[in-house]
Amino acid sequence: MKTRACVLSALVLSVTVQAQTLPRENPVPGGIAIVPVAPDTDPVPLVHFDNQRVLVVPDSGKWQAVVGLPLSLSAGPQTINISDSNGLRHEIKFNVRTKDYAEQRLTIKNRRMVNPSAEELARIGREQEIIRAAFATWSDLPLKSLRFRLPAQGRISSVFGLRRFFNDEPRQPHSGIDIAAPAGTPVVAPLTGIVVESGEYFFNGKTVFLDHGQGLVSMFNHLSRVLVERGAQVNTGEKIGEIGMTGRVTGPHLHWTVSLNNSRVDPELFLPQQLTAGQ
Lowest mean pLDDT among 31-40, 113-122, 210-219, 222-231: 113-122
Could you tell me which residues are beta bridge partners of residue 79? 93
Sort strands 55-59 and 52-53 into parallel, antiparallel or unpaired: unpaired
CATH class of 2-96: mainly beta
Between CA 53 and CA 164, with CA 51 as vertex, the angle to 5 degrees is: 95
Q: What mean pLDDT comes out for the span 97-112?
A: 70
Write phi, then psi, for 4 (nearest 5 degrees): -60, -45
In the chain, residues under CATH classification 2.70.70.10 are: 103-276
H helices, E strands: number in the chain: 3, 20
Q: Helices marked H in 41-141 — which ranges?
A: 118-135
Q: What mean pLDDT comes out for the span 148-166?
A: 85
* Band (8; pLDDT cuts 50, 70, 90): very low
In the chain, residues under CATH classification 2.60.40.1590 are: 2-96
- SS3 string, 108-126, reads CCCHHHCCCCHHHHHHHHH
* Band (222; pLDDT cuts 50, 70, 90): very high
| Nearest in space to 55 (alpha carbons), one of 261, 254, 199 | 261
pLDDT value of residue 3: 37
Predicted confidence (pLDDT) at residue 9 exceeds the cutoff of 50: no
* Band (172; pLDDT cuts 50, 70, 90): low
* Band (248; pLDDT cuts 50, 70, 90): confident
CA 186 centroid distance within chain:
20
The residues, any chain, with a CB within 8 Å of residue 68's CB and separated by 6 or more, are 32, 49, 54, 215, 259, 260, 261, 262, 263, 264, 265
Residue type, 270: F
Homologous superfamily, domain 103-276: Glucose Permease (Domain IIA) (2.70.70.10)
Predicted confidence (pLDDT) at residue 101 exceeds the cutoff of 90: no
The model's pTM is 0.86
In the three-class reduction of DSSP (H, G, I as helix; E, B as strand; rest coil), residue 48 is classed as strand
**Contact assessment for residue 39 and residue 2, using Cβ atoms and an 8 Å cutoff:** no
Between CA 214 and CA 253, with CA 271 as vertex, the angle to 5 degrees is: 100
Integer angstrom CA distances of residue 19 from 22, 33, 39, 93, 119: 6, 15, 14, 23, 49
**Contact assessment for residue 102 and residue 184, using Cβ atoms and an 8 Å cutoff:** no
